[in-house]
Amino acid sequence: MNSITSFFGWFLDPKRRGPLLIAPAIIILLLVNIVPLMWSLGLSFFKFRANQMKPPSFSWFYNYEKMLTKENIWESLQTTGIVVASSVFIQMILGFALAMLFAKKFPLRKIILMLVLTPMMLSYVAVGIFFKLFYEPEFGLLSQFIQIFTGEMYVLLATPAGALLGVIVADAWQWTPFVMLLSLAGLVSVPKYLYEAAEIDRISWWRQFTTITFPYVRSLLLLAVLFRTIETFKIFDLVYILTNGGPGTATETIAVLVYRMAFQYFRTSNSTALGYILIFIVIVLTSLYLYVIKKRESAEI
Amino acid sequence: MSTIEIQNLTKVYGDLTAVNQADLKVDSDEVLCLLGPSGCGKTTTLRMIAGLEPQTSGEIIINNNNVNLMSTRQRNIAMAFQFYALYPSLTVSENLANPLFADNLSQDHIDKKIVEIAEILQLQDILNRKPHQLAEGEKQRVAVGRAIIRDPQCFLFDEPLSRLDVQLREKMRSEIKEVLSDLKKATVIVTHDQLEALTMATKIAVMKDGFIEQISTPHDIFAKPKNTFVAGFIGTPQMNLVSANLEKQNNENYIFKVFDQLIKIKIETSSKLSDNSNYTLGIRPRSFEVESEKSEHNIAGEVDLIENMGAERLLHMKTTSASIRAVISRSLNLNIGDKIFLLPKEKQVHLFGNDGKAIN
Amino acid sequence: MRKRAIGEAGWGWTIMAAIVGFIYFFPVLFMILTAFRSRMDTLATPPKWFFSPTLENFYHIFYRSTAGSTEYFATGFHMYFFNSIYIAGVSVLLALIIGTLAAYGFSRYPLKGNDTYLFIILTTRMLPPIIVIIPIFLIFRLTGLAGSYTGIILLYTCFNLPFSIWMMKSFFDELNTEIEDAARMDGSSERSVFFGICIPQVKAGLAATSVFALILTWNEFLFALLLTGKGTRTMPNAMARTIGGEINVDYGLLAAMICFFLVPILLITYVLQNQLLRGVTFGTIKK
């Protein structure tokens, strides 16, 4: 009897509670991620092409070196950077603005909110295909709309800038609801009586925003930026469907490049290395970001 | 001149009438306490005066201006909230300064006022702390400070002391009272604690289920309750309310049948009482004297329970149907089971009719 | 000035919100209309706004004929639909439960390497699917998980965990622990503190996390493509099959599928909206 209770006691010990709570999550994540990680990381140190019968040969950093010195990598990075920065920026501004719109209770709020949330519920494939339809010079809506003014068909995706814009708009449109939802959850968690006190104190709207609203919303906004940035770096499906990386390589984001390398050119190990370079960049950016946030938080307390 | 007046104020939430045709008047340098049990509508009334709740019907007049259509901001009133509602991201001094920005004062002026208020409420040491670093009493003082730092039309306090412990409460009570008398503006305080109301208010309005039962000075609320609810609500220990049937009357002497006993009480009243009707007698526990012999003026019973209240004791006397409580001094030696007799002191018996209303 | 309680607005606001909402919703509207259009109408120039609606696209979801023949065959669509619901539902639920518990652990019982653990958890999201798809595929094959429900559900749970954890931790961090401490002193068990006090306050976080995780999982394509088998295939897969080559995309059919596929998510989101929009009314004061 004693040994059984002491066995359970071991589990229920307050000191162990923390680890026990997080253990299941960590275990699953490790299980599912670690082997693929090891495998592909390992592969990046070998020379291997999937369409040749040669066995992989160990080559240290050959892949990485090759990747880092080819110019279109940097071009790719730049493209990816532009897409991520622009799209996330638009999402944050629009998302927060929309959230403020929905933060008040008004009739029909729920229904209208659903309207705005729908874009996020579509798959990348759906968004890609239909935006492609919009952008179609012959019977796409955009072109037809512009034709009213210029009388000529408009091909958005023909120019590098246009293609980028097309991708950015599609992505931002799809994911702004995400930022909106997070912001809304934050806005709505502000206790009502703080606003009442602010009314009594006759505080200006802007002051209310900076001193009451923003501190509550801040952590969620941070979360939004973080996740959207990470996700957008990986963007593939949308770009692939819309422009296939084109025209030329104008919209070839890193993920598209990786795909091409791996499945079009079968430079398997190269692509793995490239993938890890991408991950590395994201890790660096994210850590920098988190570090800055931490510093700010501790400075305030 | 600072006055508050509400006329016929009503608030209806669906089926529930939270406030039912309330009428009040508060002059400057008057402190009105809205007193009552939870759910009686006092906070709702306060919030309507503040403009935080739109009223269903009725007029709200502040300083002789009808403010019905004015927003909270325009009404220019100060309010201290029950949950303090301090701005969590600002320091104490920033919290205090916030209300003053709308008045377009110079920074110097604002700083001076902060120092002034800090002195009155003893906040000097905590000016740079944030709300989550403060103790309850400190938070309370900051909330009050934020209200009094301004020069508003009037003051509203929502349960200002409800979250403090007893000692702190006593201290704050006197502090706030002092501050309020200096400010000389119409003030409304909401509380469910009668001691608070009795000590801080110049007028008390007792509310129940949305209705204002009585508005009087603290003295009159205690000495001349208008109905059984007010009588039972005010005063600790609670007043004894016993039902009585009038047997006979002769001039000022009335003989009531109470608990199968007949007692003769002298009552001065201008109303006519009818024989054989039911009335309610209200006698406060402190209005009894203990006697050792039965007379036609006292009630007989047996000691059931003696509660120790510190300086005094509360005696529960059992009769055939109910208990009567009386406050007795510590020196009186009684045991459970003793037969005693309680004599109501002269002129300290309240009479209420069948409808609960007082009979003068 | 009209008097209104703070935080509420009237029809004027509604109109403004409706206009904004409609503009934002427009592309989706177009898609929905396409679902009801015949092929000809979709590609018409100038765009035909008024057309006679047809249900043939929806019919085609379930019964189709191959090009050239007139025979219709059932597409077994309901299976895809069911699979999507089942897989997404279970994995989101799992991610929610495990993730919330972990978030609570990280928030209330911080360990020394807390930030590191959290960061590592975050990095699992940074892996581009392309890279890990092959090794995962191989492993699944090896362990026999390929084509099973367990495998894909496990994978999806893993995808949803990082967001779930980070989001819920953020909410738990914001709670005022005084109430919990008071309850503990009153003798409540840890379990009742957690379920009775903490969880109700973070409902908005739970709702948001569920919505996002559901959407992500519901629409996930790449891994579903490779890791589901005959009995477990999901909707995105089915949709992809209709695209085939890029020429002659049957927009109508695709639109119909998308609309159909949207419905469950719309329903759940609508239901969860209540939790999402319900703010914390009193008591929890931010630290």
Residue-wise pLDDT for B293-303, tens only, equals 888 888 888 88
Residues of C in contact with B133 (CB under 8 A): none
| Partner residue facing B73 (CB), from A194, A202, A215 | A202
Closest chain A residue to C103 measured between Cα atoms?
A: A22
The reply to whether A108 touches chain C by the CB within 8 Å rule is yes
Residues of B in contact with A297 (CB under 8 A): none
| Partner residue facing C25 (CB), from A115, A134, A176 | A115
pLDDT given for residue A6 in this prediction:
54
- Return the C-alpha torsion angle C21, C23, C24, C29, nearest 10: 100
Residues of A in contact with B102 (CB under 8 A): 201-204
pLDDT given for residue C2 in this prediction:
47
What value, to the nearest 5°, has the Cα angle with vertex A143 and ends A139 and A145? 105
Instruction: Tell me the average pLDDT across B75-104.
Output: 88
ipTM for the complex shown: 0.78
Between A202 and A42, where is the model more confident? A202
| Partner residue facing A130 (CB), from C31, C46, C215 | C31
Tokens 């895809």 belong to which residue? C80
Closest chain B residue to C283 measured between Cα atoms?
A: B83
CATH code of the domain made up of A44-300:
1.10.3720.10
> pTM of the predicted model, to two decimals?
0.75
pLDDT in tens, A142-178: 777 777 777 666 677 778 888 888 889 999 999 999 8
- For B240-352, the fitting CATH number among 3.60.20.10, 3.30.40.10, 2.40.50.140, 3.40.50.10160 is 2.40.50.140
Beta bridge partners of B158: B190
Say how far apart CA B82 and CA A92 lie, in whole Å.
36
Do residue A19 and residue C105 have CB atoms under 8 angstroms apart? yes
pLDDT given for residue B250 in this prediction:
79
CATH code of the domain made up of B4-233:
3.40.50.300
Q: Which of A20, A27, A29, A94 to mutate to test the interface with C (most CBs of C within 10 A)?
A: A29
Q: Which residues contact residue C35 at a Cβ distance below 8 angstroms, ignoring those fewer than 6 apart? A: C57, C58, C252, C255, C256, C258, C259
| Partner residue facing C1 (CB), from B53, B69, B89 | B69
pLDDT in tens, C103-129: 888 888 887 888 888 888 888 888 777
Say how far apart CA A243 and CA A128 lie, in whole Å.
9
A250 contacts A160 by C-beta, under 8 angstroms: yes
Q: Which of B9, B79, B132 to mutate to test the interface with C (most CBs of C within 10 A)?
A: B132
Residue C70, min C-alpha distance to chain A (Å): 28
pLDDT in tens, B249-294: 877 778 888 888 888 888 877 778 888 888 888 889 988 888 888 8
**Residue ranges per structural domain of chain B:** 4-233, 240-352
Closest chain B residue to C2 measured between Cα atoms?
A: B69
Residues of B in contact with C286 (CB under 8 A): 88-89, 132
- Chain B: which residues have CB within 8 Å of chain A? 50-52, 71-73, 76-79, 81, 83, 85-90, 98-99, 101-102, 146
Residues of B in contact with C282 (CB under 8 A): 83
Residues of B in contact with A202 (CB under 8 A): 73, 76, 99, 101-102
| Partner residue facing C6 (CB), from B52, B69, B89 | B52
Share of chain B above pLDDT 90, in %: 11
Q: Look at residue C281 and tell me whether its pLDDT is greater than 50.
A: no
Tokens 């503009």 belong to which residue? C23
Tokens 């009686």 belong to which residue? B40
Residue A11 has phi, psi (to 5 degrees) of -70, -40
Q: What are C165's two structure tokens?
A: 């954890």
pLDDT given for residue B190 in this prediction:
93
Residues 1-30 of A with CB under 8 A from C: 17-22, 24-26, 28-29
CATH code of the domain made up of C77-277:
1.10.3720.10
pLDDT in tens, B30-53: 899 999 988 888 999 999 999 888
Alpha helices in C114-187 (DSSP H): 114-123, 129-143, 149-174, 177-185
Q: Look at residue C232 and tell me whether its pLDDT is greater than 60.
A: yes
Chains in contact with B, counting 3 or more C-beta pairs less than 8 Å apart as contact: A, C
| Partner residue facing C1 (CB), from B71, B88, B132 | B71
B271 contacts B359 by C-beta, under 8 angstroms: yes
Q: Look at residue C70 and tell me whether its pLDDT is greater than 70.
A: no
Beta bridge partners of B249: B254
Do residue A98 and residue C20 have CB atoms under 8 angstroms apart? yes
Closest chain B residue to A218 measured between Cα atoms?
A: B89
Do residue C6 and residue B54 have CB atoms under 8 angstroms apart? no
Between C238 and B257, where is the model more confident? B257
pLDDT in tens, A204-243: 888 888 888 888 888 888 888 888 888 888 888 888 888 8
Q: In Å, what is the CA distance from C130 to each residue of A40, A272, B348, C223, C262?
A: 11, 9, 91, 10, 26
Closest chain A residue to C116 measured between Cα atoms?
A: A287
pLDDT given for residue C284 in this prediction:
33
Comma-separated ranges of CATH 1.10.3720.10 domains in chain C: 77-277
Residue A243 has phi, psi (to 5 degrees) of -130, -10
